Every structure is written in C-alpha cells, then in structure tokens.
Amino acid sequence: MPDDQIALRLRGLTKRFGAMTAVDRLDLDVPRGSFFGLVGPNGAGKTTTLSMATGLLRPDAGSAHVLGTDVWADPVAAKARIGVLPDGLRLFDRLTGLQLVTYAGLLRGMERDLVAQRVGELLAALGLTDAQDKLVIDYSAGMTKKITLACALVHAPRLLVLDEPFEAVDPVSARTIRGILEDFAANGGTVVLSSHVMDLVERICSHVAIIAGGQVRVVGTVDEVRGGMTLDDRFLDLVGGTTDVEGLAWLRTSSD
C-alpha cells in the first residue's frame, strides 16, 4: 500500500521486559479512514504495541510512523496528529471534567476560545454537561472513559488510538461514542481500537488484526479475517482455547 494511504505504519516493533519479549518484531499497516480493531488474548502485547505506536513507551527496536511522521524521531509533530485513550493511565483527577478537557486542549497549544467552544460541544455530545463541574475522581468508570475520550478528541486528531474504549460504558453512551467514532472515520479520520469484545469488533470495525505472543497472527478486512466464520470462532481457532475446567471439580455445587 502506498505511504500516503497509511495512517499508522509499524515496522519491526519490539519491546522486552527483562527476559520476556512482550512485542516481537511486529509489523502492521493501518489504512487511512479505516476502523481498525486489535484483538488478542490477555497479555498478547496490544497495550504495549499501542503505547509504542503513540509515543508513550520507547521501543527497543523498530519504528512507528503516523501519517508519514516518525513517532520517535519527531514526537511533537506525530503527537499533534494523534488522539489517545490510554488504558489505565493516571489522570489529573482532582480537576473537574470541564477543567480536564480544557487543560488537554490548552496543552495542545490551542486558542482559549476555540478550546472553550469545543469542550462545550464535546461534553454535550458525550452527555457530560451536567457533570462538568464535578471532580473527575468522583466520576464513574464509564464517565471517566468518556471524559478521557473528550481529552483525546479536543485537538481534532487525524488518528485516534483507543484502548478498550467501550469498557465500563453503558449501552446508551456506547452508541453515542460509536456514532462519534463512525462519523470521525467517515470523514477521513482513522480509528484504531483494542477490544476483547469480538462481536463489537465484528460489527463496527472495517479491519482487524489478531495479535498473539507479541506478533500479528492474521490481518485484513473483517470479512477476510473471519473467512466465513464468526470472528469469535476464528479467534479461538487461531489462538486456541485451552480451558481446563476439569481441575476445578471443587467448584461444582454437586460435590456438597
């Protein structure tokens, strides 16, 4: 695929933690305008990959390019184009929701008036206007997810990287978030998200990569990867479901 069609290009990305290789020479091309799902078992290396791709964790080897800009050689230019919803990153949660998103916009060098306008619109779109003066530390998990998403969107990035964006989010808010993301992708933005929920990925993503053992095992459009099966079956087929419930006989109520 030509370079100008690629929103995120990862080449030979590698990260070791001690003796353990979490991400192992991983290659991935995310086409522009795609809604790209990253799935994989626990510990597969998804979060580590996304952290390296977005300038949050320095790779031991390999490269990440966002719309042609090298994330690690030119982080300021690359990060201006990326919005990130990290998993479990500490927030400045002693700020109110309004203050937190405003701060995110000002940090990006935006004009105060523009920030105020966009923050108002984002909070309204995400149903957070009533909670805007509450401290983020007092938000529920789903509200926290939504306010973090607002922080990721405020500077109008071209690439959105979202770690588990629908986790802890209620169905109404999930639909709102999905609408915002679909609109974003339909207008030339690119969304990369990680999720464990296969039918969600199957429904909303155009492309998917299955990651296991720190490498991409299969990648393509959702239909290509599914190959006539459900994504869930394809995933289990590829990654292997090794559940040994036999060993848990003591959990069976019948053994009373």
Ligand X SMILES: Nc1ncnc2c1ncn2[C@@H]1O[C@H](COP(=O)(O)OP(=O)(O)OP(=O)(O)O)[C@@H](O)[C@H]1O
Residues making contact with ligand X (CB under 6 A): 17, 22, 40, 42-48
**Closest separation between CB of residue 48 and ligand X, Å?**
3
**Closest separation between CB of residue 147 and ligand X, Å?**
21
Radius of gyration of the chain (CA): 19
Q: CA 67 to CA 6: how far, in whole Å?
A: 6
Q: Which is nearer to ligand X, 48 or 132 (CB)?
A: 48
Q: CA 233 to CA 235: how far, in whole Å?
A: 5
Strands 6-17 and 20-31 turn out to be antiparallel
Q: Which is nearer to ligand X, 160 or 212 (CB)?
A: 212
Q: Which is nearer to ligand X, 38 or 154 (CB)?
A: 38
**Closest separation between CB of residue 53 and ligand X, Å?**
12
Please name the helix (run of DSSP H) or strand (run of DSSP E) that holds residue 63, with its range, or none: strand 61-66
Burial pattern 206-221, b for ≥16 Cβ within 10 A else e, equals ebbbbbbebbbeebee
Q: Which is nearer to ligand X, 120 or 213 (CB)?
A: 213
Q: How many helices (H) and strands (E) does the chain have?
A: 9, 10
Q: Which of 211, 170, 236, 154 is nearest to 36 (CA)?
A: 211
Q: CA 161 to CA 47: how far, in whole Å?
A: 10
**Closest separation between CB of residue 9 and ligand X, Å?**
19
Q: CA 76 to CA 79: how far, in whole Å?
A: 5
Q: Which is nearer to ligand X, 173 or 195 (CB)?
A: 195
Q: Which is nearer to ligand X, 34 or 47 (CB)?
A: 47
**Closest separation between CB of residue 204 and ligand X, Å?**
18
**Closest separation between CB of residue 163 and ligand X, Å?**
8
Q: Which is nearer to ligand X, 16 or 158 (CB)?
A: 16
Write out the two tokens for 57: 């964790």
Residues whose CB is less than 8 angstroms from the CB of residue 256 and which lie 6 or more positions away in sequence, other chains included: none
The CA-atom distances, in angstroms, between 166 and each of 174, 177, 204, 218 are 6, 8, 12, 23
Please name the helix (run of DSSP H) or strand (run of DSSP E) that holds residue 177, with its range, or none: helix 171-186
**Closest separation between CB of residue 102 and ligand X, Å?**
30
